[in-house]
């Protein structure tokens, strides 16, 4: 009993699909195919764009890591540090080329964590608590970029390395710009796809209507033949499909030519029937005359 509705569902779908005109089904099939292609192309383009943008962020992390080797204050010898460097040498400043929201984290072997976030390109950085950057402190020190979720701050692309003194340095760049760019790409693709499907559906309906005109003329010829009284009397079956619609190179032309041949056979049969009826009436008339005589 429970499987009966499941079997009836495909039947109802087939009946619903069969109730549509050929023109509507063709247009719908073309639009559905274009929509599928648009979704596929849009998906691949979006994935490729996101991969490219993240690769750029990874390259920026790698460049910042290289700059760190020669420019960061805590890598300088004590006699080479300026007084300001000695104050901030334990504070991990994100490189100035990193975008706003970038984070630098330094973790000592004793578990002490210092973190700073860049709030503007030219202004000073701000300190962060150890709890806010806890996911960054557990990254493997393999120099490879990893995606890290920092809660309310969103996703970051981060890379960690271990310094010669045993400290762990982590740089993290926010992915909000990447995600915003990807979302704008998705919205643009959706708008372009919707406009393209609307135009394709309208043009497809016009093209299908023009293409099916010969089939409509063949159907009109069959309709005129169906209205003729073929069961009695003399019938002049002169209705035929126009010669323009009987081209054997096309499907509609093949149908038109077959209909003309069928009408020819029907006309011959009707003529034979009419001749037979005429002979019968003549025989009856002659017999009645002879009987009266």
* End-to-end CA gap in the chain: 80
What secondary structure does DSSP assign to 213-256, as a single string? HHHHHHHHHHHHHHTS--SSS---------GGG--TTSHHHHHH
Pick from 148, 109, 149, 107: nearest CA to 130: 107
Query: What is the reported pLDDT for 199?
Result: 92
82 has pLDDT over 50: no
Angle at the Cα of 247 (from 241 to 253), degrees rounded to 5? 60
Taking residues 155-170, report their average pLDDT: 88
Q: Are 168 and 111 in contact (CB under 8 A)?
A: no
Query: What is the reported pLDDT for 251?
Result: 80
Alpha helices by DSSP H, listed for the chain, are 3-18, 22-71, 83-88, 134-137, 176-211, 213-226, 251-292
74 has pLDDT over 50: no
Q: What is the pTM of this model?
A: 0.66
Q: Are 270 and 237 in contact (CB under 8 A)?
A: yes
Query: Backbone phi, then psi, for 290, in 5-degree steps?
Result: -65, -40
- CB count in 10 Å sphere of residue 36: 10
Three-class DSSP category at 78: helix
Q: Identify the H or E element spanning 172.
A: strand 168-174
Taking residues 133-156, report their average pLDDT: 87
Lowest-confidence segment of 28-42, 67-81, 197-211, 255-269 by average pLDDT: 67-81
Share of the chain above pLDDT 90, in %: 18
Query: What is the reported pLDDT for 77?
Result: 39
Q: For 117-132, what is each residue's pLDDT tens digit?
A: 888 877 778 888 888 8
Q: Within its chain, how far is the Cα of 241 from the centroid?
A: 43
Query: What is the reported pLDDT for 41?
Result: 92
When pLDDT is cut at 50, 70 and 90, the band that residue 217 belongs to is: confident
Length in residues, the chain: 293
162 has pLDDT over 90: no
Taking residues 256-275, report their average pLDDT: 79
Taking residues 188-205, report their average pLDDT: 91
Lowest-confidence segment of 80-94, 136-150, 162-176 by average pLDDT: 80-94
Query: Backbone phi, then psi, for 148, in 5-degree steps?
Result: -125, 135
- Residue 158, classified by CB atoms within 10 Å of its CB into exposed (0-12), middle (13-18) or buried (19+), is buried
Query: What is the reported pLDDT for 37?
Result: 92
CB hemisphere CA count around 193 (13 angstroms): 19
When pLDDT is cut at 50, 70 and 90, the band that residue 174 belongs to is: very high
Query: Which residues is 105 bridged to in the sheet?
Result: 115, 170
Query: What is the reported pLDDT for 225?
Result: 77
Q: Identify the H or E element spanning 157.
A: strand 155-162
The C-alpha atoms of residue 32 and residue 38 are separated, in whole angstroms, by: 10
Query: What is the reported pLDDT for 72?
Result: 41
Of 33-42, 129-138, 207-216, the range with the highest mean pLDDT is 33-42
Query: Which residues is 103 bridged to in the sheet?
Result: 117, 172
Residue 139: DSSP 8-state: S
The C-alpha atoms of residue 192 and residue 173 are separated, in whole angstroms, by: 31
Pick from 284, 282, 280, 272: nearest CA to 234: 272
């Amino acid at each position: 009993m429970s499987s009966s509705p499941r079997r009836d569902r495909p039947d109802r779908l087939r009946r619903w699909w069969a109730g549509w005109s050929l023109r509507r089904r063709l247009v719908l099939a073309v639009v559905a195919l274009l929509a599928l292609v648009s979704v596929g192309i849009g998906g691949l383009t979006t994935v490729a764009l996101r991969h490219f943008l993240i690769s750029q962020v990874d390259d920026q992390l790698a460049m910042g890591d290289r700059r760190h080797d020669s420019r960061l204050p805590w890598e300088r010898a004590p006699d080479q540090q300026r007084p300001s460097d000695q104050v901030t040498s334990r504070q991990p400043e994100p490189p100035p080329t990193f975008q706003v929201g970038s984070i630098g984290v330094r973790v000592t072997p004793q578990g002490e964590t210092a973190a700073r976030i860049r709030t503007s390109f030219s202004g000073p950085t701000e300190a962060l608590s150890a709890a806010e950057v806890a996911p960054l402190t557990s990254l493997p020190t393999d120099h490879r970029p990893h995606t890290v979720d920092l809660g309310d701050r969103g996703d970051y692309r981060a890379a960690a390395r271990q310094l010669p003194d045993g400290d762990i340095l982590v740089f993290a760049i926010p992915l909000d710009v990447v995600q915003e760019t990807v979302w704008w790409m998705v919205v643009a693709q959706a708008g372009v796809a919707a406009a393209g499907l609307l135009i394709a559906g309208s043009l497809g309906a016009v093209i299908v209507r023009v293409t099916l005109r010969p089939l409509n003329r063949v159907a009109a010829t069959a309709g005129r033949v169906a209205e003729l009284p073929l069961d009695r009397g003399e019938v002049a079956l002169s209705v035929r499909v126009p010669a323009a619609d009987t081209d054997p190179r096309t499907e509609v032309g093949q149908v038109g030519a077959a209909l003309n041949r069928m009408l020819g056979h029907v006309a011959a049969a009707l003529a034979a029937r009419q001749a037979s009826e005429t002979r019968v009436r003549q025989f009856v008339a002659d017999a009645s005359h002879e009987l009266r005589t």
